[in-house]
Structure 1
Amino acid sequence: MPCYEIDGLRPVVHPTAYVHPTAVLIGDVVIGPGAYIGPCASLRGDFGRIVLQRGCNVQDTCVIHGFPASDTLLEDNAHIGHGAVLHGCVIRADALVGMNAVVMDEAEIGAGAFVAASAFVRAGLKVPARSLAAGVPAKILRELSDQELAWKREGTATYQRLTERCLATMKECAPLAAEEPDRPRLDGGSVQPLVATKRAGD
C-alpha cells in the first residue's frame, strides 16, 4: 500500500486489519484490529490524527482528514460507505455513514446512528444515538428501528469477514480472456440492501 511517514510519524496498521494496496495512508493514522480499508481510500494524517478502532470499515474512495491538532475518531464497528468524506469528526460505535455522505468538523454521529447516503452533516452537529440523519443539510428525522440496527450489524459483520477473506486470499492477477464455463459465484454472505430486508419483513 502507499504508506508515508511525515515529520517522522508513520501510520500504524494492526496485523489483523486489511488495507487495500491502492489505499493511501499518511502520517498520524492508527488502524485497529480487524479493520477494513477499501480501494482508493485516502487517510491523510498530515495535520490531525485519524484513529480507527476495532472492526471498522472504510470503503472505496473515502477521504478522512482533519485540521491541525484535531482527532478524527471512528469507534468500534463504525461503517463508512463508498465515497464518504469525514473531516475532524467523531463516529461513535456501531454508527453508519452512507455512501457519498459528508461529515464535517466537530460533528458527532452517535452510537448506532445512521447518516443517509449523500447527506451533508454540518460542522458541530450532534446526531443522537440510534437516530437517522438525512438531507442537505442533514436533519434528525427519527429513531431507528430494531430491524434497521440488526441490518447494520449484519452488514458490518460481512465487512469484517471480508477483511479475513482479503488477508487470506486476495492477490493481484491478470484477467482471463474469456469467462470460464460454470463460473462459480463468490460466497459473500447473506446481507442484502435495506430496502429488500424491509420488503421481506412486510
Structure 2
Amino acid sequence: MTDVSPPFYPFEGKAPAVHDTAWVAPTAAVIGDVTIGAGSNVWYHCVLRGDTNFIRIGAGTNIQDGTIIHVNRAAEATIIGDHVTVGHAAIIHACTLEDFAFVGMGATVLDGAVMEEGALLAAGSVLPPRKRMGKYEFWVGNPAKFVRVLGEEERARFGKTAPHYVELAGRHRATLAG
C-alpha cells in the first residue's frame, strides 16, 4: 500500500499541531507553527507555512486544493476561524478570516486584511492589505470593493459548504485508509 500520510514538517523547533479529527491530504505540506482544529480539512496540494509567524485554523474549516497560506514576519500571523471555507487555489497571507467567512476560488487575502464573520470574497478577487470586510459583506474585484450585504438565504446556502467538506474529508480519510 502507498504511504498516504500527510507531510508535516517542523521548523526551528515548532511542529504542526493537528487535531485527531482533522484531515490533511497526503499531498499537502504543513510546515512549522501551524495549528489545525477539530474537523477541519486541508486538501490536496495545499501549502501551509508557519515559519516566521504562526497559522491558526479553527474547527470545521476547509482549505481547498492548491491553496497557499503563509504569514508575515512582523506582527501578522494568519488566523482562520471556525467553519470557514477557503476555495481552490486561494492565497491567504498574514490576515484574519473570522468564523463562517468564505474566500472564493483563486481569491487572495493580503497582509493585515480582515474578513469579519460570514464575509464573502468573490472568486478571483484580491482583498488589499489592511482592508476590512464587514460582517456578511460581499466584495468583488481587484482590488476588491464592497457590493452589498448578503441576505439570510444566501448566508444559509454558503453556510452549507464547510459541513459538506467535513463529511467529504471523512470519506477521503476512509478511502485512503483502505
Task: Please tell me the TM-score bracket, short chain as reference.
Answer: over 0.9
Looking at structure 2, the residues matched to 153 and 20 of structure 1 have their Cα atoms a distance apart, in angstroms, of 23
Runs of 4+ in 1 over 3 A off after TM superposition: none
- Cα deviation for residue 165 of structure 1 reads 1.7
The match for 2:154 is 148
- Cα deviation for residue 171 of structure 1 reads 4.5
Structure 2 residue aligned with 1:103, among 109, 114, 119? 109
The match for 1:53 is 58
Looking at structure 1, the residues matched to 98 and 176 of structure 2 have their Cα atoms a distance apart, in angstroms, of 30
Give the 3-state SS of the residue equivalent to 1:132 in structure 2: strand
Give the 3-state SS of the residue equivalent to 2:138 in structure 1: strand
The match for 2:124 is 118
- Cα deviation for residue 152 of structure 1 reads 1.0
What pairs up with 1:28-177 in 2 under 5 angstroms? 28-68=33-73, 69-171=75-177
Q: State the TM-score, normalizing by the size of structure 2.
A: 0.94
Give the 3-state SS of the residue equivalent to 2:34 in structure 1: strand
Taking only aligned residues, the RMSD between alpha carbons, in angstroms, comes to 1.1
**Greater C-alpha radius of gyration:** 1
Give the 3-state SS of the residue equivalent to 1:77 in structure 2: coil
Q: Percent identity?
A: 37
| Alignment gaps of 5+ in structure 1 | 173-202
Looking at structure 1, the residues matched to 38 and 11 of structure 2 have their Cα atoms a distance apart, in angstroms, of 23
- Cα deviation for residue 37 of structure 1 reads 0.3
The match for 2:3 is none
The match for 1:26 is 31
Number of residue pairs matched by the alignment: 172
Looking at structure 1, the residues matched to 150 and 60 of structure 2 have their Cα atoms a distance apart, in angstroms, of 22
More strand by share: 2
- Cα deviation for residue 168 of structure 1 reads 2.5
